């Protein structure tokens, strides 16, 4: 499967009569977006605000972040099985408005969401302080159940991102990157002397507000499967997760998975990147046994020599992480884990909730318990009403002047457990 990803670099975002891209500026039609969001009768209010890098703006509470993309050639459309017909994606050509994002935010569930600062000392913790953000501020009907609200918010963000993505369909990209993974036997034959490496991608799937969708399937009811990495670049995986902000894998991160990016970078040089084993994170121990057994079986079946495993979340998923690690290692496959840590402010407590002797190579993406000071911002998109009840916030977090003292786990993607952050260990 071969995908050309055309990157259209966006340097600014403005409102305009027409949604279009011109000389690196993205123009968006505010009214059209509002209208589109309010088509869902579960949502009663919608607004659109813009946030650019360096501005004195705080966005809170943030639900999802989505890069606008569009299929230009090849089968299917972005987000198959969710807002478009089910069709295998990942082949042909896709355009991405790189440097811009749709950010869904506003009065949401009380405790799950986090914040993005566009400037100041805490902006460095989130990649979304460096992008031009179209913030879709939504409000649901008062009587709406939490999970219905999550769905309405999720779909609103995806629809708006797909709509904005269309603006890039006929624009000549600034850069085209080609990614290719061949069918297994051909891929193995292409670089027979290089070690075969796979990526075990664990999807958050524990229950309401902890869900991820693969071609529209709730990941908790699927069994582990094999996928081409390029399928993810077309939106085959969508986030429905509202758990801890710091390690929430947003839909942006599914599009732009840094493990996949780096494995492709090394593909054909010192490794042979075979593909992705997709698995889930469940509540029932029996499901964990089954999924980790199947993950190990698939890795062995694919003839892998080495595997990188990432997780989403803390606690229960640590058990899946360690079971995957142990069982894959027992197949005589080298395993490297990537995760973040919650070892207390001083970093001295146990970092993860579970461990096995086979977990002897682990890359950390930072300590979510570190406390930071967030100075006041001139403008708030959304509301600060929920700061003290957000994960990472606490009683007394929000000061009268609008400044905040909180753990960095309140910041979207600050310790994201796939390395798309600034706290990850990096090689130079």
Contact 43, 35 (CB under 8 A): no
| Options 31-39, 166-174, 192-200, 202-210: segment touching other proteins (CB under 8 A) | 202-210
Please list every residue from 212 through 271 that binds other proteins, using CB under 8 A. Answer: 220-221, 243-244
3-state secondary structure of 240: strand
CB of 391 to other proteins, least distance (A): 6
Cα(104)–Cα(64) distance, rounded to whole angstroms?
Answer: 5
Residue closer to other proteins, measured from CB, 319 or 421: 319
DSSP assignment of 335-388: EEEEEEE---TTS-S-SSS---TT---EEEEEETT-EEEE---SEEEE-STTGG
Residue 242 known to be catalytic? yes
Site string for other proteins, 347-376 (x = CB under 8 A): --xx--xx--------------x-------
| Options 22-30, 77-85, 207-215, 264-272: segment touching other proteins (CB under 8 A) | 207-215
- 313 sits near other proteins (criterion: CB under 8 A): yes
Helix (H) or strand (E) holding 229: helix 229-233
- 284 sits near other proteins (criterion: CB under 8 A): yes
Tokens of 102: 């749709």
Cα(416)–Cα(28) distance, rounded to whole angstroms?
Answer: 29
Among 53, 216, 315, 402, binds other proteins (CB under 8 A): 315
Cα(202)–Cα(350) distance, rounded to whole angstroms?
Answer: 22
| Options 21-29, 97-105, 194-202, 385-393: segment touching other proteins (CB under 8 A) | 385-393
Among 345, 373, 378, 425, binds other proteins (CB under 8 A): 345
Site string for other proteins, 132-171 (x = CB under 8 A): -------------xxx------------------------
Among 77, 251, 272, 282, binds other proteins (CB under 8 A): 282
- 209 sits near other proteins (criterion: CB under 8 A): yes
| Options 17-25, 26-34, 126-134, 311-319: segment touching other proteins (CB under 8 A) | 311-319
DSSP for residue 173: P
272-281 β-sheet, strand order:
225-227, 272-281, 196-204, 306-310, 334-341, 362-367
Residue closer to other proteins, measured from CB, 24 or 315: 315
Q: What is the 3-state secondary structure (H, E, C) of 38-65?
A: HCCCCEEEEEEEEECCCCCEEEEEEEEE
Among 128, 342, 374, 420, binds other proteins (CB under 8 A): 342
Please list every residue from 72 through 111 that binds other proteins, using CB under 8 A. Answer: 109-111
Contact 393, 384 (CB under 8 A): no
Among 206, 272, 279, 367, binds other proteins (CB under 8 A): 206
Tokens of 337: 């884990």
Q: Tokens 């509301």: give the residue.
A: 383
Among 44, 189, 208, 425, binds other proteins (CB under 8 A): 208
- 394 sits near other proteins (criterion: CB under 8 A): yes
242, 246, 299, 365: which one is catalytic? 242
Among 41, 185, 286, 427, binds other proteins (CB under 8 A): 286
Which of 424, 349, 392, 387 lies closest to 244, judged by CA? Answer: 392
Residue closer to other proteins, measured from CB, 193 or 395: 395
Cα 155 vs. chain centroid, distance in angstroms?
15
| Options 68-76, 132-140, 252-260, 310-318: segment touching other proteins (CB under 8 A) | 310-318
Taking residue 286's Cβ as centre, other Cβ atoms within 10 Å add up to 8
Which of 325, 251, 340, 260 lies closest to 288, judged by CA? Answer: 325
Based on the number of CB atoms within 10 Å of its own CB, is 400 exposed (0-12), middle (13-18) or buried (19 or more)?
Answer: exposed
Return the CA Rg of the chain. Answer: 21
Residues touching other proteins: how many (CB under 8 A)? 43
> In the complex, which residues of this chain contact other proteins (CB under 8 A)?
109-111, 145-147, 204, 206-210, 220-221, 243-244, 282-288, 313-319, 342, 344-345, 349-350, 353-354, 369, 388-389, 391, 394-395
The residues annotated as belonging to the active site are: 242
């Amino acid at each position: 499967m071969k995908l050309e990803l055309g990157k259209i670099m966006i340097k600014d975002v403005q409102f305009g009569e027409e949604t279009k891209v011109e000389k690196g500026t993205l123009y968006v039609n505010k009214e059209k977006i509002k209208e589109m969001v309010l088509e869902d009768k579960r949502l009663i209010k919608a607004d659109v605000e813009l946030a650019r890098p360096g501005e004195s703006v705080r966005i809170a509470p943030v639900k999802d972040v989505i890069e606008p993309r569009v299929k230009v050639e090849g089968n299917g459309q972005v987000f198959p099985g969710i807002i478009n017909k089910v069709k295998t994606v990942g082949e042909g050509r896709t355009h991405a408005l790189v440097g811009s994002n749709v950010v869904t935010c506003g009065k949401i569930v009380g405790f799950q969401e986090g914040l993005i600062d566009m400037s100041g000392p805490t902006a460095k913790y989130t990649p979304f302080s460096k992008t031009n953000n179209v913030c879709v501020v939504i409000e649901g009907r008062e009587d709406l159940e939490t999970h219905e609200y999550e769905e309405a918010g999720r779909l609103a963000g995806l629809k708006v991102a797909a709509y904005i993505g269309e603006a890039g369909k006929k624009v000549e990209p600034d850069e085209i990157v080609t990614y290719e993974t061949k069918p297994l036997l051909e891929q193995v034959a292409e670089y027979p002397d290089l070690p075969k490496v796979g990526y075990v991608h664990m999807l958050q799937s524990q229950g309401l507000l902890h869900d991820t969708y693969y071609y529209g399937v709730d990941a908790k009811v699927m069994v582990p499967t094999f996928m081409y990495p390029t399928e993810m670049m077309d939106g085959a995986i969508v986030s429905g997760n509202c758990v801890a902000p710091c390690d929430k894998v947003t839909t942006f991160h599914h599009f732009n998975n840094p493990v996949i990016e780096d494995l492709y970078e090394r593909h054909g040089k010192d490794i042979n990147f075979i593909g992705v084993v997709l698995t889930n994170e469940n509540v029932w121990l029996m499901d964990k046994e089954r999924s980790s057994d199947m993950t190990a079986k698939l890795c062995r079946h694919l003839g892998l020599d080495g595997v990188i495993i990432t997780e989403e979340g803390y606690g229960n998923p640590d058990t899946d992480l360690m079971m995957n690690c142990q069982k894959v290692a027992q197949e005589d496959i080298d395993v490297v884990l990537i995760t973040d840590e919650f070892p207390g402010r001083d970093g001295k407590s146990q970092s993860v909730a579970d461990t096995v002797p086979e977990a002897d190579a682990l890359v950390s993406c930072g300590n979510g318990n570190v406390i930071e000071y967030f100075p006041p911002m001139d403008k708030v998109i959304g509301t600060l009403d929920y700061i003290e009840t957000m994960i990472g916030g606490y009683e007394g977090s929000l000061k009268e002047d609008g400044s905040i003292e909180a753990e960095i786990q309140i910041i979207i993607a600050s310790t994201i457990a796939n390395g798309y952050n600034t706290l990850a260990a990096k090689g130079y």
